Chain A
Amino acid sequence: MANKKQTLVAMLGVTFGIAMFILMISFMVGVNQFMEDTMLSSTPDIHIYNDIKTDYSVSVAGDYFKNNPALVVVRHPKPKQVNLNIKNAQGIIADMHKDPDIVHISPFLSTQVFYNYGPVQINGYINGVNIAEESKIFDLASKMTVGKPEDLLSADKGIIMGRGLANKLDLGVGDMVTLTTPQGTSMSFRVVGLFAIGIGTIDDTRSYVNLANVQQLLGKDRSYITDINIKLTNNKLARDKAAELLKKYNYKSDDWETANSSVLAGNIVRDVLTYVVSITLLVVAGFGIYNIMNMTIQNKMKDIAILKAQGFAGGDIVKIFLGQALFIGFFGAIMGEMLGFVLAYSLSRVPFPHNDFIALKFFPVAFNPAHYIFGLVFGVITPFIAGLMPSMKASRIDPVAILRG
């Protein structure tokens, strides 16, 4: 019943609210997904390792003084010389293979090394891996900028190097590099490939070599490993599974969520922000509708009185006005979703500013039907609520007062 211009203005309020919601949520979820993907490309679902024990309740001093009781205070205790490897790794791995939730297991041996670059030494680390297993966990094949993961197998003492690290060392495929361990042993490797997973701290410091080479470099036997990466059927299981594995094998087990809690906190902040902004926009649109409906009803008092005199009941009047609010909401929301989609799509085509540390070509945007359904539902509910009070008011208009003039 409102005039066309007012209806259009009310509709545009909903349209912009929903369009902004779609744009923001698509972008925020896109960012979240990108963060999560990046995170998951560097963090296994579960990482098992032998943590340095910081439990000093038992001291060698106890052994020493055990025959003449005395109060002995040990200040600043240090850990004893231990091997940070996982004992009985083969048994644990064989046991984990029986777990139906675990799809891939990659044991590896990680150690700190110096990359010799002329007289300069660059600090970093190498992971001695079974490259086939490790690839399955991180999809290394898609992260390779030069070469293939399997090249490591065919080369004698090959090394796959982070791209940032290779740039610093000015190395390319086919070049030799000498690594030195903190214990002083050293070994030369030939670069067979480069990778970039998009996280500077990894691409600038990590390399992969065959597990046997690292065991040899460290002078350890063929069963010596320090870490196990695990991929699950579903990464949502990680938290519980990690706790279970810790209990079972008594080695530290980090799930990806715990390891990346700061990133996940960022995701939650973005989600909340999106909903707060979108809901604010819709509430503003709701007030706009409320105003326009009130104005309409003010202008339509006479018509309402006529309808009532003809035998239309209060409920019929509510239906008419709420119908209008729903009309505004439905078409406003549909237009908003189209506008939002166009904006989100445009954003997804905007090149992301070039950056060595972030592997992004375009702005990350997610297209999820659930967002559109939510937008539509909210776009219809908001005007409905906004229109409810004015409609009830209209239904209570006393026709006699109006018809008397």
Chain B
Amino acid sequence: MDAALKVENLNKYFHEPEDFHVLQDISFSVGKGEFVPIIGKSGSGKSTLLYLLSTLDTDYTGEIRINNDLVTGKSQNDLARFRNRNIGFVFQFHFLLPEFTALENVMLPALKLGRLSQEEIRQKALDILKQLQMEAFAQKLSSKLSGGQQQRVAIARALINDPAIIMADEPTGNLDSVNTGLVFDIFKDLSHHKGITILTVTHDLDFAKGADRVIEMIDGKISAEHA
């Protein structure tokens, strides 16, 4: 199977407030189109791992390949371009630009990529919002939307540049069970029908149960990969 993501011997330390080996010899790979939740106790290093994988944090040793492309060692500008093109990121706290509409938030990464005309981007963003049943809210300021709506806008934004992989850090952490189920269904659909790799940190065990495979982290190590 083609690896969408392959990491080898990741190690990371924090030096403040004291030396702390937060990620220890982490190696694993995720295939194309796989839906893989990462679980583990709070403080076990899940978020830290995800920031490394998403290329936002470059302070580590080891190697990370995304789509067989070695991202370790790329310059900040190259990484920014790489992220823009290949990685969709969904956070726990939605993290939309509050002064822009839902549609504008979704369009932004594509405008940065600059492959399509503004009108094409607009159309594409509307299509994606429609798939997530958010087209009615496209013109609303993102700060005026409910939590579940914001999270769907964030997922739409993550999808706009047709990324190979979507990474999410507790995307349902702030949502009620209805919205959690909705996000879960969307992710499953994306991985199974669109072939998008999904890597998501979650506390929600239901979420984890329906997955292809689960990565569990304990104290900075991967303890188990449930097949």
List CB contacts (< 8 Å) of A359-405 with chain B.
Answer: 399-400, 403-405
**Per-residue A-contact encoding for B100-139, CB less than 8 Å = 1, 0 else:** 0000000011001100000000000000000000000000
Q: A310: CB under 8 A from chain B? A: yes
Q: B197: CB under 8 A from chain A? A: no
Query: Which of the segments B23-31, B76-84, B198-206 contacts the partner chain?
Result: B76-84
Interface contact B77-A310, CB-CB below 8 Å: no
Minimum CB distance partner of A404 in chain B: B47
Minimum CB distance partner of B87 in chain A: A311
Query: Which of the segments A75-83, A169-177, A269-277, A300-308 contacts the partner chain?
Result: A300-308
Complex-state Cα separation, A316 to B80, whole angstroms: 10
What residues on B are CB-neighbors of A403 within 8 Å?
51, 56, 91, 95
Interface contact A311-B57, CB-CB below 8 Å: no
Interface contact B108-A309, CB-CB below 8 Å: no
Q: A266: CB under 8 A from chain B? A: no
The number of chain A residues with a CB under 8 A from chain B is 20
Interface contact B54-A309, CB-CB below 8 Å: yes
Say whether chain A's binding surface is mostly helix, strand, loop, or mixed: helix
What residues on B are CB-neighbors of A313 within 8 Å?
76-77, 80-81
Minimum CB distance partner of B167 in chain A: A309
Q: A62: CB under 8 A from chain B? A: no
Interface contact B76-A309, CB-CB below 8 Å: no
Minimum CB distance partner of A314 in chain B: B76
- In the complex, what's the smallest C-beta–C-beta distance from A308 to chain B, in angstroms? 7
List CB contacts (< 8 Å) of B130-188 with chain A.
Answer: 157
**A313-B76, A314-B77 are contacts. A308–B84 as well, Cβ < 8 Å?**
no
Q: B93: CB under 8 A from chain A? A: yes
Interface contact B97-A306, CB-CB below 8 Å: yes
Interface contact B57-A310, CB-CB below 8 Å: no
Q: B213: CB under 8 A from chain A? A: no
What residues on A are CB-neighbors of B112 within 8 Å?
310-312, 316
Say whether chain B's binding surface is mostly helix, strand, loop, or mixed: helix
Complex-state Cα separation, A307 to B80, whole angstroms: 10
Quick one: which of B51, B76, B83, B99 contacts A310, CB cutoff 8 A? B83
List CB contacts (< 8 Å) of A1-42 with chain B.
Answer: 1
Q: A182: CB under 8 A from chain B? A: no
What residues on A are CB-neighbors of B80 within 8 Å?
308, 311-314, 316
Q: B35: CB under 8 A from chain A? A: no
**A306-B96, A403-B95, A404-B47 are contacts. A311–B56 as well, Cβ < 8 Å?**
no
**A303-B97, A400-B56 are contacts. A310–B91 as well, Cβ < 8 Å?**
no
- In the complex, what's the smallest C-beta–C-beta distance from A394 to chain B, in angstroms? 14
What residues on B are CB-neighbors of A311 within 8 Å?
80-85, 87, 109, 112-113
Complex-state Cα separation, A1 to B57, whole angstroms: 26
14 additional contacts (CB under 8 A) given A1-B99, A302-B95, A303-B98: A309-B54, A310-B84, A311-B80, A311-B82, A311-B84, A311-B85, A311-B87, A311-B112, A315-B77, A399-B56, A400-B51, A400-B56, A403-B91, A404-B47
Chain B positions within 8 Å of A, measured between CB atoms, are: 47, 51, 54, 56-57, 76-77, 80-85, 87, 89, 91, 93, 95-99, 108-109, 112-113, 157
Chain A positions within 8 Å of B, measured between CB atoms, are: 1, 302-303, 305-316, 399-400, 403-405
